[in-house]
Amino acid sequence: MTVEQKIRELHHFINGALVPGTSGRYSHVYNPCTGEVIARVPLATREEVRQAIESAKNAFPKWKSLSGGKRSEIVQRFRQLVKENQDELIEIICEESGKTRGDARGEIQRGLESVDLAINAPHMIKGEYSVNVGGEINMFSRKDPLGVVAAISPFNFPVMVPLAQTSMAVATGNAVILKPSEKVPISALYISKLWKEAGLPDGVWTVINGDKEAVDELLENEEVKAVHFVGSTRVAEYVYQTGTKFNKRVAALGGGKNFMIVMPDTDLDQAANAFIGAAYGAASQRCMALSGVIPVGKETGDKLVAILKDKIGKLKVGPYTDDETDFGPVISKESKEAILGYIERALDEGAKLVTDGRNPEIAKTSNGFYLGPTLLDEVKTDMEIFKEEVFGPVRIVVRADSLQEAIGIINSHELGNGVTIFTNNGAAARKFQDEIEVGMVGVNVPIPIPVGYHNFAGWKRSNFGTGVMFGPEQANFFTKRKTISEKWLAIGDETEAAFAFPSDGGSK
C-alpha cells in the first residue's frame, strides 16, 4: 500500500450524510506525534457553505416545532453514545492533536458537562407569566430558537469546545453548523456520526470544513443568525467585527495570558506542582493554561524558581502511546517554529533561561512536533514574551515586590481570561478577588475553568461581546424572547377607541 493510499479522504457532513468536497482545495491533517500526514480535508467554497446553510434552514422548522422534552431525549441519547464510544473518540483526539490519553479523557468529561446542561434546556427556556397586568390583560413571554446558527472551533480542544458551543444550541431548537479547525476535523466528523445515531433529524447538525473563505460566508450570510467563535484574539476580533457588521449575534472568545501569583506564605512545593501541571499540560496549548508565575518578594522568587527548575527537568515529553508521557507535541511544524522564535527574541531582550526545552531528547529520533518545557526568568512587562499569548510550552517568571505590584502587572495586560493566587492569607485573597481585572479567578486553584453549569468568559480582549461558553447564559444566547399581551373579549362588551398611552390605572 502506498503512502497516498494510507491518507484518509475526509468530507463535509451535510443533511445527515458525508459529502465530498468539490472545491479542489485541501488541507493536510497531521499526527503531531510523528509528523506524518494522516488525512486530507476539503476546504469548502462559499457555494458549498451556502448549500449547507440551505440544508440547515430547511431542517429548522420541524426541529423547532418538536417538543423540548423530545429534543432533550435525543441530546440525552447523544450523551450516552459519547460515553459508549469514549475510547475510540480518545484515540481520534490523540492522533490528530497529540494529546495524552488522560488529557483527552478529561476533555471529553468536561465536554459532557455542557451536554448535561443542555439536557435541561426545557427548564432553562421557560417563559414568565403575569395575570391581569391591567385591563384584564395577561402577559407572558417565551424563548424561541434563532434558526441557523454557526460555531467555529479551535484545534486545541477537538471535542470539549465544540460540545460546549453547540449542545445548548441544538437543545434549544436551532439548526447548527460547526466549522471545526482544519487541523482537527476527524473528531468533529465522528461527533456527527453520534448525533445521527442518536436520532437527530438530518440537517439539524452540519459540519462544514474550510478556512477563511468558509468562515466569511458564515459571517456574512443573512440566514445565519448567530456565530459562536473560540480561538485567537486576533481572529476573535475579526469574527466579532465582521459578524456584527452583518447584524448577527456574535460570541467571540479569544486568547489569554494567565498568571499565577505566589505569596510568601504559601507552600512553595505545592505551588510549584500546581503551576507545572497548569502551565505545561497539553503542551501549554490551552487558553486557560498558566502563562507565567509572579512570585512576590525576592526570597519567594528565588526559592520558587529553584524548585521549578528541579521539577521541570523531570518532565517527560513524548507520544500519547507512552503512558509515562506528561505532555505531547505542539500541533504543527509552523507552531513549533513560531514558539522557538519567541524564545530566541525573549533571550535577546534580556530574559534568563532557567530550563531549555528547545531540543528535547525525543526530537532526535522523531519527526513529531516536539518541544520540551522552557522556563524564562526575569521577564519584564515591555518584552514580547510578556505581551503575546504563546501557544506552546514556554512559560515565564515575572517578579514583583508586593501583592499590589503583582495585581498591577496583571491588570496592565490587554488580555483577561484567567488568573489565580496561591496564598493562605484570607485578606490577600480577598484583595486579589476585588481588584483583579480578569474574568475567571482562582484562589489556590491553578486552572479556574468553570464547571459546565457556570458561565465561562474572559474580560478585556479575551472576549468580544457578551457571549459565553458553558453555563446558563448560552440558553439566552441561542434564543430570542417574545413577549405576548393577551386579552379575551366577551361577546357584546362595549368598547371605545382610546388615544392615551396605555397604562395600568387599576381599571378594567
Q: CA angle, corner 96, sides to 323 and 344, nearest 5?
A: 85
pLDDT band of residue 231 (cuts 50, 70, 90) is very high
The 10s digit of each residue's pLDDT in 268-298 is 999 999 999 999 999 999 989 999 999 999 9
| Mean pLDDT for the stretch of residues 437-448 | 93
For residue 13, the surrounding DSSP H or E stretch is strand 12-14
* Residues taking part in catalysis: 287
The CATH number of whichever domain residue 149 belongs to comes to 3.40.605.10
Same domain, 262 and 250: no
Range of the domain at 159: 3-254+462-482
3-state helix, strand, coil in the chain (%, to 5): 40, 20, 40
| Mean pLDDT for the stretch of residues 207-232 | 97
Residue 229 inside a domain? The answer is yes
Same domain, 328 and 405: yes
Residues above pLDDT 90, as percent of the chain: 87
pLDDT at 505: 56
pLDDT at 495: 73
pLDDT band of residue 448 (cuts 50, 70, 90) is confident
pLDDT at 289: 93
Same domain, 134 and 53: yes
Same domain, 250 and 270: no
Same domain, 224 and 371: no
Residue 309 inside a domain? The answer is yes
Distance CA 296, CA 302 (A): 10
**What is the residue-averaged pLDDT of the chain?**
94
Same domain, 224 and 274: no
pTM of the model: 0.93
Query: Are the CB atoms for 396 and 413 separated by under 8 Å?
Result: no
pLDDT at 32: 97
> pLDDT at residue 1 above 90?
no
Same domain, 235 and 262: no
Same domain, 277 and 244: no
pLDDT band of residue 2 (cuts 50, 70, 90) is very low
The structural domain count of the chain equals 2
The 10s digit of each residue's pLDDT in 78-124 is 999 999 999 999 999 999 999 999 999 999 999 999 999 999 999 99
| Mean pLDDT for the stretch of residues 175-194 | 98
User: Whose CA is closest to 56, among 117, 14, 111?
Assistant: 14
Residue 494 inside a domain? The answer is no
pLDDT at 508: 45
